Amino acid sequence: MALDKDLASIQEARDLVAAAHQAWQSWRRASQQDVDRVCAAMAEAGYAEAERLGRLAHAETGFGVAAHKKLKNQFASRTVWESIRDLRTVGVLRHDQARKLYEIAWPMGVVAALVPSTNPTSTVLFKALICLKARNAVVFSPHPAAARCTAEAARVMAEAAAAAGAPRDLVGCITQISQQGTQALMTHRRTAVILATGGTPMVRAAHSTGKPAYGVGPGNVPVYVDRSADLQKAARYIVASKAFDHSTICATEQAVIADKPVADRLAELMRAEGAYFCDAGQTGALRRTVFHPDGSMNVAAVGRSAACVADLAGFAVPAGTRILVVPLSKVGRDEPLSHEKMTTVLGWYEADGWERGCEISMAVIEAGGLGHTQIIHATDEQVIMAFGLEKPVYRILVNTMGTLGAVGLTTGVMPSLTLGPGGLGGAITGDNVTAMHLVNIKRLAYELNAPPPEALVPGGSAAPAPASAASEAEIERAVRRAMDDILANR
């Protein structure tokens, strides 16, 4: 008897987790050399397929730009691998001689990885690498709008891993998509942790399962341009970043706050880069087009070109237009366009001085981007540090593109496509999530101090004579022998 779609999805999820858990029984005992060999092969396979997977993602979802998705796939494979290649994720990670403490890596198990439609292939490449580097197994749950390209990206990584010697079924992907199947994946007794990258409802569902979960949050990212900024660079970066993959990365700029003395010049330079500044009528049309009356975003506008979004709103823009800029005066519930816009529409505010720029930035963040990202273009270090100290976000980017800076391509933050918003944004971490977030740490701890005498006294009797303690040299020799035996058996 054929199962209903939801029942078939549930059964597939259960079967994939069971198979992944069985494969993990072997993989969790892998040596560091085996882990690194397999992950290197996966990274190269993902990089080699970056262009094809980018085209598949664009063709299936209609979101973004195929060439930009190729770049994201290259980043998610080779750049991510280079950032974690030298991490030790097996055996003893650290030894503190003074504290007589060993820290030992221990994998988590099966990871449930939720994948968004906006970054369906790059997210798979990235998560597969960090999961296996940490000696975990992973099962992906695609978004229904990106099921085929997500499954293909997972297949590429699974086959590369197996060809390099990893056990089969270490990387799996649900192909019969349903909410019930995803729920079964997240709540399965063999699922150890959830990596939730996607929209707010999906992330909330992950956090509600009772399982440990790394979630993301909305990125309503303000970019303040100070009077001390390199305006030409700022204009070039802001337009390019907002246009990149048609604004489908959560760290994309959502609102410019321009310092009044340089606002006109910045606008002029942004126009030269392909920004179209809308009038009041066009801005009103975009309010009604980009968002539904209930505040949710119109999927028809997500990840679309500026010309496409303008056409949906009922007006035309000149050839070469890359983004639509909407002048705004309000922030919050009364102004839909002050919220996150996963498309080529950028808010524009003006502020007289960095203090007012701070206030507007805070309002934009509080309207939907708590914990995520703030960008500043400036050369005045006092202003830069003021933004760094005061903003309730965990990534403050200076003189760079939001899209590529927050994920770690143009900055020194850890390369990642899962950007935690911390407790402010309802998540467990504010870090860029990577392999070490998927490693548990065991601690082997020797006695440093003898217990207080009264702790050893039974029922008020006199304290017994302390036992003779092993010498430091004896402890070291015993530990080294044990570690040599462990390594010899791997």
Query: Does 255 have pLDDT greater than 60?
Result: yes
Burial of residue 178 (CB within 10 Å: 0-12, 13-18, 19+) is buried
Mean pLDDT of 403-428: 95
Residue written as token pair 């990202």: 373
Residue written as token pair 């004579």: 465
The pLDDT, as a whole number, for residue 122 is 98
The pLDDT, as a whole number, for residue 458 is 85
Q: Which pTM value belongs to this model?
A: 0.91
1 SS3 class = coil
Q: How far apart are CA 55 and CA 126, in angstroms?
A: 18
Q: In sequence order, which residues have a C-beta less than 8 Å from that of residue 351 and are 6 or more positions away?
A: 224, 257, 258, 259, 260, 357, 359, 360
| 207/284: higher pLDDT | 284
Q: How far apart are CA 369 and CA 425, in angstroms?
A: 7
Contact indicator for 239, 274 with CB cutoff of 8 Å: yes
Query: Does 411 have pLDDT greater than 70?
Result: yes
Residue written as token pair 């990596």: 195
Question: Which of these is catalytic: 250, 278, 308, 358?
Answer: 250
- The answer to whether residue 250 is catalytic is yes
The sign of the torsion formed by the CA atoms of 226, 228, 231, 235 equals negative
Mean pLDDT of 442-449: 96
- Calculate the alpha carbon distances from 33 to 8, 48, 435 in Å: 38, 23, 16
- Which residue intervals of the chain bear CATH 3.40.605.10? 5-216+433-439
Q: How far apart are CA 227 and CA 379, in angstroms?
A: 9
Mean pLDDT of 187-192: 96
Q: How far apart are CA 20 and CA 135, in angstroms?
A: 12
Residue 47 — pLDDT band, cuts 50, 70, 90?
very high
The pLDDT, as a whole number, for residue 33 is 98
pLDDT digits (tens, 9 = 90+) for 270-292: 999 999 999 999 999 999 999 99
Written out in words, the top-level CATH class of the domain with range 5-216+433-439 is alpha beta
- Which residue intervals of the chain bear CATH 3.40.309.10? 221-408
The pLDDT, as a whole number, for residue 199 is 76
How many beta carbons lie within 10 A of that of residue 469, not counting itself? 11
Query: Does 269 have pLDDT greater than 70?
Result: yes
Average pLDDT of the chain, as a whole number = 93
Residue 436 — pLDDT band, cuts 50, 70, 90?
very high
Contact indicator for 153, 80 with CB cutoff of 8 Å: no
State the amino acid at position 140 in one-letter form: F
Q: In sequence order, which residues have a C-beta less than 8 Å from that of residue 201 and are 6 or more positions away?
A: none
Contact indicator for 348, 277 with CB cutoff of 8 Å: yes
The pLDDT, as a whole number, for residue 483 is 59
Domain 221-408 falls in which CATH fold? Aldehyde Dehydrogenase; Chain A, domain 2 (3.40.309)
Residue written as token pair 């070469």: 320
pLDDT digits (tens, 9 = 90+) for 335-366: 999 999 999 999 999 999 999 999 999 999 99
- Two tokens, residue 47: 């990089």
How many beta carbons lie within 10 A of that of residue 53, not counting itself? 28
The pLDDT, as a whole number, for residue 479 is 58
Q: How far apart are CA 453 and CA 455, in angstroms?
A: 5
Residue written as token pair 């919220």: 339
Query: Does 307 have pLDDT greater than 70?
Result: yes
